[in-house]
Amino acid sequence: MRLRPLDSLIAPCLAQRPDLPVLHMAPEAAIGRLAASAIRASGPVPPESIALRAGLALRAEDVVGAGPQSPVLVMDRPPALVPGDVLPRGTDALLDPDSVQDQGAFLEITDSAAPGLNIRRRGEDLAEGQVILPAGGRVTPAHALAARMAELETLPVFDLTASLDGFDPVLAALLAALLEECGIRIGTGGMALFRLEPARETTPRLALQPGETGWLEPVEGGIRLEIPPRFDGALAMVLAVLLPILCHWTGARPFPQAGTLARKISAGLGSTSIALLAENAGQLTPLGIGEITLASWLASAGYCVLPPGIEGFAAGATLAAHRLAPLLA
């Protein structure tokens, strides 16, 4: 039986991009979703210079050369601040209180300070307009924190859904976890963007190793994917089929992983092949090309998708691959 090339099935799906729904969600609620547009700081963070520790605010040039043997004398006690306090106008450093000795009518300062000591200047965390997350990026807790610190009340994120009907519970849980890493939530009904169903065919029909019994086709409002019953074919369908379509539609990017091949990769011509890769000190070791065992999956850190027409790569070659966790940058 002649196998259908993967590219010939993916191309119509790429061309029929549906209108992707967008939600505006609180940063902490948006964690795990994909940004529908670039998220930028609306103003400098912090908006004013702040204290990073408890100390006394002063102007650094006023205590140049201060030391235990040559203290600087000042008449007014510098204001005491705690972490997060805004620095008073005209001050640019924070001095340890132990460096100030009260002599009654005056103070002795026994330590010098450089401008910026123990403070965070205006805009040093984020500059105004700085990109927190590019379009298509997956919102992480760090992005949510940055957005909150930038006083962004909501973030624009894609509302991506998938349906999982008729699967074995273990395979359904595996697929749900992989889809969640792609910013896709599991829904119900026929209007999901990605409609995943168990493959009904038992004979090979798709030029994908593994995953020969899988299939895909565009449907109204999304795509339908038939997933082989074993974990290896299911993983191949996510990595080689669903993920490229998702990235094309949303601007998302697989998490890159580059390294030097510890040994050669030889791929069979005529089929798209998945190669899992172990990583050690910058070297990538293929754990099987076109075959995925439980042991190889557990030992792998990344993967590459070898298109049909690529015979392989020699040992010592630099390979541009992708990480398995996280799947998206």
* DSSP-derived secondary structure for 54-111: SEEEE-GGGGTT-BTTBPEEESSPPPEE-TTPBPPTT--EEE-GGGEEE-SSSEEE-S
Tens-place pLDDT, residues 98-111: 888 888 888 899 89
Q: What are phi and psi of 280, to 5 degrees?
A: -150, 115
Residue 1's pLDDT band (boundaries 50, 70, 90)? low
The verdict on residue 42 lying in a domain is: no
Nearest one of 194, 191, 196, 148 to 27, comparing CA atoms: 148
What is the per-residue pLDDT for 100? Answer: 85
The range of the structural domain enclosing residue 86 comes to 51-114
229 plus 269 within the same structural domain = no
Per-residue buried b or exposed e for 2-22, using 16+ beta carbons within 10 Å of the residue's own CB: eeebbeebbeebeeeeeeeee
Strand partners, 119: 51
CATH code where residue 234 lies: 3.40.50
pLDDT at position 255 over 90? yes
Q: Are residues 198 and 167 in the same domain?
A: yes
Region 39-58 average pLDDT: 96
303 in a domain, yes or no? yes
Question: Does 120 fall in a domain?
Answer: no
- Report the Cα 193 to chain-centroid distance in Å: 22
Residues 193 and 229 in one domain: yes
Asked which of 17-31, 125-139, 262-276, 277-291 is least confident by mean pLDDT, the reply is 262-276
Query: Is 271's pLDDT higher than 80?
Result: yes
For residue 84, CA distances in Å to 126, 136, 196, 279 come to: 16, 33, 49, 42
Considering only CA atoms, which of 273, 216, 272 is closest in space to residue 246? 216
Say whether pLDDT at 235 is over 80: yes
Of the candidates 234, 250, 266, which is a domain's last residue?
Answer: 250
Give the total number of structural domains in the chain: 3
What the block records as the tokens of 43 is: 């103003």
Tell me: do 283 and 242 sit in the same domain: no
241 and 173 in a common domain = yes
CB atoms within 10 A of CB 55: 26
CATH number of the structural domain spanning residue 283: 2.40.340.10
pLDDT of 269 above 90? no
User: Looking at 114, 144, 168, which one is the last position of a domain?
Assistant: 114
- Residue 189 pLDDT greater than 80, yes or no: no
Give every CB contact of residue 29 below 8 A, 6+ residues apart in sequence. none
Residues 310 and 235 in one domain: no
In a shared domain, residues 168 and 243: yes
Distance CA 227, CA 196 (A): 7
58 touches 100 (CB < 8 A): no
Tell me the C-alpha distance between 135 and 91, whole Å. 39
Please, what is the average pLDDT of the chain? Answer: 93
* 188 pLDDT higher than 70: no
Backbone angles phi, psi at 155, to 5 degrees: -125, 140
pLDDT at 313 over 70: yes
Q: Is residue 151, in this structure, part of any structural domain at all?
A: no
Position 148 in a domain: no
For residue 14, pLDDT beyond 70: yes
227 domain residue, yes or no: yes
Domain boundary among 250, 274, 289: 250
| Type of residue found at 81 | L
- Asked if the model's pLDDT at residue 138 lies above 90, the reply is yes
Burial of residue 151 (CB within 10 Å: 0-12, 13-18, 19+) is: exposed
Report pLDDT for 190: 63
Q: What are phi and psi of 27, to 5 degrees?
A: -50, -45
Instruction: Assess whether 171 and 238 both reside in one domain.
Output: yes
Average the pLDDT over 41-47 and give the result: 96
Let me know whether 242 and 166 are in one domain. Answer: yes
pLDDT (mean) for 155-167: 95
Q: In Å, how far from its chain's centre is CA 276?
A: 20
Verify that 246 and 171 share a domain, yes or no. Answer: yes
At residue 187, the pLDDT reads: 83
- Please check whether residues 234 and 280 belong to one and the same domain: no
pLDDT digits (tens, 9 = 90+) for 69-99: 888 988 888 999 999 999 999 999 999 998 8
> What does the pLDDT read at residue 270?
83
pLDDT greater than 70 at residue 140:
yes
- Which residue is associated with the tokens 């040559």? 70
Domain assignment present for residue 104? The answer is yes
SS3 state at 196: strand
Residue 45 lies in a domain: no
Contacts of 113 (CB under 8 A, 6+ apart): 58, 60, 63, 93, 94, 95
How far is Cα 72 from Cα 183, in angstroms, rounded to an integer? Answer: 58
CA-CA distance, 110 to 271, in Å (whole number)?
74
d(CA 42, CA 64): 37
Stretch 293-319: mean pLDDT = 92
Query: Quick one: CA dihedral 62, 67, 71, 76, positive or negative?
Result: positive
Asked whether residue 260 falls in the same domain as residue 243, the answer is no
Q: In this model, does residue 280 exceed pLDDT 80?
A: yes
Q: Which amino acid is at 310?
A: I
At residue 77, the pLDDT reads 84
